[in-house]
Copies of this chain bind each other. A is one copy, B any other.
Amino acid sequence: MTKEQALTLLSQKREAMRALDMAQSLMHWDAATLGVTEKSLAARGEATGWLGGETFRRFIAPDTLEAIETLESVSDGLTEREQAMTRNLGRQYRKAKAVPPEEMQKFESLRAQAQPVWEVAREANDFEKVQPYYEKMFDFMRRLCGWYGYQKHPYDALLDDYEKGANVETLDAFFALLREKITPLVKDIGKSGVKPREIKGQFPAAKQRELTPWLSAFMGYDLSRGKVGEVEHPFCMTINRNDVRITTKYHENDLTASLFSVIHEAGHGLYEQNMDEALENYSLADAASMGMHESQSRLFENMIGRSRPFAEILLPKLREHFDGFEDWDGETLYRAVNIARPSLIRTESDELTYCLHIIVRYELEKALLTGTAKVSDLPGLWADKYEELLGIRPPDVARGVLQDVHWSAGLVGYFPSYAVGNAYAAQIMHTMKKTVDVDAAVSRADLTPVTGWLREHIHRHGEVHEPATLIRRVTGESFNPEYYAEYLYSKFTDLYQ
């Protein structure tokens, strides 16, 4: 196979996969936004199963490897994009091929069985129901580490699936820093006696819905290349480069939930909308990593959306649409959207304590993979760690170890990327602020200097660079969680002094 033949072959495969991916995305969108009738689930499951299987069959065919090896052998003669494509495909191919097909099938069927069992177990508040499934899942994950291979720690093999190049050594240091700096701060805040005013009341969904176009426009999320849907659990989904959709849910008794979810998802959406379209021709029109994607949503949600200047421009909008804000000022609103309070549920946690929820999961996953903890120990270990890190103990497993879908869905190694994303965001923001007056841009309600900077330095590059390379190119140094720890520490010390 010549280089040209290899490129042509991959291009043909890409055309097929793009169509198959788009179809699967739309099926997912349709199910999430419209609700699928219970009775049509089976036929739909068969169809998505076939589409996913076809994508995999086309990728895993021997000619894909032949093309990859051809390009690897001429790597000097490749452009930067061709090299990145070859590196990515080679990694994906070898990881996929490392797992014996019959084991992969068993894993897929375990996932399919475990998820409904997890739902039932959570509902019934009964860990033992799902325990045998988790045992099989972690047993598979331990073997998966072996199949994938690793240099130092088995967990490294899994972490790499979500954050290329992530490893226990770096994460241990990252989380030790957070433990050291954030855990005492959380306890001090609890004792501070500071009680910010809270936003309370009923906020009609129709009124909240009116705010969304303003928010999208403020963010620079391009509605002519996307749309906003309503779902139970908000997400951002790319149908194609010019159809990047975000979603939200309007809670009538919680005004800020939808507001910040729109900002969060539009942050993801910007990344997707701003990638160079030509990257699609190299299968590189994707985020550099899960963590890098999360850095963009969190940067907008927390560092811009929960900033003083944004509170000042948000307040008049809230007054326009809702009663009850007559006697508020910007500073009160800023404090109200930044209340830090240890809580049991990760997805409802505030900016400060969020990373502590991740540490609990990181330490447990690591212990389970090395065998220093057993699945049957999870409920107790979980409660102990919450008590140690957040100072509260879940009264039951539903609000404890059973709250996340991840383990029943076979997503082990995913959680840390959320925390890494936050840390990337702080490091990126630190660099951006050297040349961009972010606060002034927010105050003017014109984020173009911010979105322009992010597009230039991050978004447009898609998956061309590994995350470690990208963060070094953008900020001039390696991943450095000090910025995040310092950001949290100073923001919340100021709020609760």
- Cα–Cα distance between A31 and B255 once the two chains are bound (Å): 31
Q: Does A386 contact B (CB under 8 A)?
A: no
- Set of chain B residues within 8 Å of A38, measured between Cβ atoms: 224
Q: Would you call A16 and B243 a contact (CB within 8 A)?
A: no
Query: Which A residues form the contact surface with B (CB < 8 A)?
Result: 15-16, 18-19, 22-24, 26-27, 29-30, 34, 36-40, 42-44, 46-51, 54, 224-227, 239-243
Report the nearest B residue to A24, measured CB to CB: B23
Tell me the minimal C-beta distance from A447 to chain B in angstroms: 21
A27 near B23 (CB under 8 angstroms)? yes
Q: Are A22 and B43 in contact (CB under 8 A)?
A: yes
Residues from chain B with Cβ under 8 Å of A48 in the complex: 19
| Docked pose: A29 CA to B224 CA in angstroms | 19
Q: Are A40 and B242 in contact (CB under 8 A)?
A: yes
What is the distance, in angstroms, from A403's C-beta to the closest C-beta of chain B? 31
Closest 3 CB pairs of A and B: A23-B23, A40-B243, A43-B240
Q: Given A36-B243, A224-B38, do A46 and B16 touch, yes or no (CB 8 Å)? A: no
A38 CB to closest chain B CB (Å) equals: 7
How far apart sit A103 and B45, CA to CA, in the bound complex (Å)?
37
Q: Which residues of B contact A15 (CB under 8 A)?
A: 46, 50
Residues from chain B with Cβ under 8 Å of A54 in the complex? 16, 19
Query: CB distance B22 to A240 under 8 Å?
Result: no
With a CB–CB cut-off of 8 A, which chain B residues contact A27? 22-23, 26
Complex: A242 Cα to B38 Cα, angstroms: 9
Known A26-B26, A30-B26; contact A239-B40, beta-carbon cutoff 8 A:
yes
In the complex with contacts A15-B50, A16-B54, A241-B43 CB distance below 8 A: yes
**Within the complex, what minimum Cβ distance (angstroms) separates A268 from chain B?**
17
Pairwise interchain contact A18-B40, C-beta atoms closer than 8 A: no
Give bound CA distance, A18 to B27, whole Å.
14
A229 nearest CB neighbor, chain B only? B34
**Partner among B30, B39, B242 whose Cβ is within 8 Å of the Cβ of A224:** B39
Known: A37-B224, A43-B240, A44-B240. 15 other contacts (CB 8 A): A19-B47, A19-B48, A22-B27, A22-B43, A23-B51, A29-B30, A37-B242, A39-B224, A39-B225, A40-B225, A40-B239, A40-B240, A43-B241, A43-B242, A44-B239
Nearest-neighbour CB distance to chain B for A19, whole angstroms, equals 4
Residue of B nearest to A18 (CB): B47
Shortest C-beta distance, A118 to chain B (Å), equals 25
Q: What are 23 residue pairs bridging A and B, where the CB atoms are less than 8 Å apart in the complex?
A: A18-B43, A18-B50, A19-B46, A19-B47, A19-B48, A19-B49, A19-B51, A19-B54, A22-B43, A22-B47, A23-B23, A26-B30, A36-B243, A37-B225, A37-B242, A39-B242, A39-B243, A40-B225, A40-B239, A40-B240, A42-B242, A43-B240, A44-B240
